[in-house]
Structure 1
Amino acid sequence: MGLAEEITAMRGGSGHSGRLLGEFRRAVLLVPLPDGAEGGLMSGRQGGVRWIYAFTDEAALARFAQVRGAAHREWEFLAILGARLLDEVIPETEDPTGVAVDVADEDGSMLFPPVVGIVPDASAVDAA
């Protein structure tokens, strides 16, 4: 089962958090790059957390572009393993950072917050 299917199972009540995280870590995710000179990865802020936008496929990224009213332009993105996002990218950020997957899909989105068990302990907001 792939990440999108695990998200569907979790949201439907038949998923397992360990399988979901495992699929996330193994998945190649598409992370859009900001338009312009700001650099980095496209993200948003909510509740004191920076959320990196990541997508399971180009169709999910296209739905995100459509919702943002920017489907007319070409979107540059980075293809990156979920494990690399969690283990290498997030520890380099200054603020609490999680990953928001397929955020334009009302029934298919999932948040991976900056907590112990998901991100490295040094980046987790709930680490002792």
Structure 2
Amino acid sequence: MGLIGQIVSYREGLGDPARLVGEFRRTSLLVPLTTTDVDSDAERPFVAAGGLMSAVSGGIRWLYAFTDEEALARFVHARGEGGHEWPYLTMLGARLLDAVVPMSDRPTGVAVDVADGDGAMLFPPVAGIVADAFAVDVDPGADGGRGAVA
């Protein structure tokens, strides 16, 4: 079915959360890079200088990821940044969750196709999506450190 199909199915109330996360982990996503200086963050607060493009909302860092170049282009245009290109990496969703999220300075999730309204999906930093050590809904001190829902 693919990630887009899983997102649609989930949004229609027919999807399986485990299948959705599994498909996300298997999908190659376009992850925009930044090329800005630290000084320009005031002008473009959704850009983390020198790294992967992200936004911070409610204490959560949201990494932007896109299913294809068209979805990335819609995001660029929605931000009024259509005058220049953004470089990107192609990365499996699993790599984002297993390697990038643990390197972040705060709880981190992934926002997929954020300019696509009903086609967008957030993968928050919760148990079952990110490792328990980085999940905001796991109390590391409870249950002998094995992880209990807080």
**Range of TM-score over shorter length:** over 0.9
The DSSP-based 3-state class of the residue aligned with 2:72 is helix
- Name the stretch that deviates more: 30-39 or 4-13: 30-39
Q: Distance in 1 between matches of 2:57 and 2:97?
A: 18
2:41 maps to none
TM-score, normalised on structure 1? 0.97
> Is 2:79 the counterpart of 1:68?
yes
Match of 1:95 among 89, 106, 109: 106
Aligned residues: 128
Which amino acid is 1:112 matched to?
F
Greater radius of gyration (CA) = 2
Q: 1:48-102 CA distances to partner (integer Å, 9 max, x unpaired)?
A: 1000000011110000001001122111001000000000100111200000000
Alignment counterpart, residue 126 of structure 2, candidates 91, 108, 115: 115
The unaligned stretches of length 5 or more in structure 1 are none
* 1:46 paired residue number: 57
Residue of structure 2 equivalent to 1:85? 96
| TM-score normalized by the length of structure 2 | 0.83
**Structure 2 segments unaligned to the other structure (5+ residues):** 38-48, 140-150
Bigger shift: residues 28-37 or 63-72? 28-37
Which position in structure 2 is the counterpart of 1:26? 26
Match of 2:45 in 1: none
Q: Distance in 1 between matches of 2:126 and 2:118?
A: 23
d(CA) in 2 for partners of 1:40 and 1:6?
29
Paired AA for residue 50 in structure 1: R
Percent identity over paired residues: 62
Q: What is the alpha-carbon root mean square deviation over aligned residues?
A: 0.8
Q: Which has the higher contact order (CA 8 A, sep 6+)?
A: 1
Q: Does 1:17 align with 2:17?
A: yes
